[in-house]
């Protein structure tokens, strides 16, 4: 079944304490996937900027730049992190743009695990 995009407004109202009714589980899971991606991406971006002195592009190009800095590394851990960031981005795009997302509950579980691993691995660099 196609996602009712107005459910994001219901979720936003719920999160702001202004809900008139509960938001759907799909809206919550989609938001969880999206937020998990941004948690991992922003931590990786800030690591590159603050600890390694990279100048991160100020536009949407930052997503490509950050991924490529990890994917193109000679270090195996960093390459794995880059690949994971790419998979997270693909899933984030699905939940943010596709009307239908198959296996959303299992995707959410996987994305949460992968994002946590990227953040943990950043602490090992």
If one counts the domains in the chain, the total is: 1
38 belongs to a structural domain: yes
pLDDT of res. 22 = 86
* Phi, psi (deg, nearest 5) at residue 6: -70, -15
pLDDT of res. 31 = 97
18 belongs to a structural domain: no
- Nearest CA to 29 among 91, 87, 95, 115? 95
74 belongs to a structural domain: yes
100 belongs to a structural domain: yes
Chain-centroid distance, C-alpha 111: 8
19 belongs to a structural domain: no
Distance, first Cα to last Cα, the chain? 43
Expressed as residue numbers, the domain containing 37 is 25-122
pLDDT of res. 102 = 96
- 64 sits in which H/E element: helix 61-71
pLDDT in tens, the chain (125 residues): 799 999 999 999 999 999 788 889 999 999 999 999 999 999 999 999 999 999 999 988 999 999 999 999 999 999 999 999 999 999 999 999 999 999 999 999 999 999 999 999 999 99
Handedness of CA 43, 44, 49, 55 (dihedral sign): negative
9 belongs to a structural domain: no
13 belongs to a structural domain: no
């Amino acid at each position: 079944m196609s996602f009712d995009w107005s459910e994001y407004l219901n979720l936003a109202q719920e999160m702001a304490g202004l809900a008139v009714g509960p938001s759907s589980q799909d809206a919550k899971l989609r938001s969880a996937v999206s937020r998990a991606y941004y948690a991992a991406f922003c931590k990786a971006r800030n690591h590159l900027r603050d600890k390694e002195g990279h100048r991160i592009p100020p536009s949407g190009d930052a997503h490509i730049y950050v991924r490529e800095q990890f994917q193109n590394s000679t270090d195996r851990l960093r390459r794995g992190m880059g690949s994971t960031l790419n998979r997270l981005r693909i899933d984030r795009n699905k939940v943010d743009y596709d009307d239908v997302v198959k296996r959303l509950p299992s995707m959410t579980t996987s994305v949460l695990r992968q994002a946590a691993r990227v953040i943990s691995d950043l602490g090992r660099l």
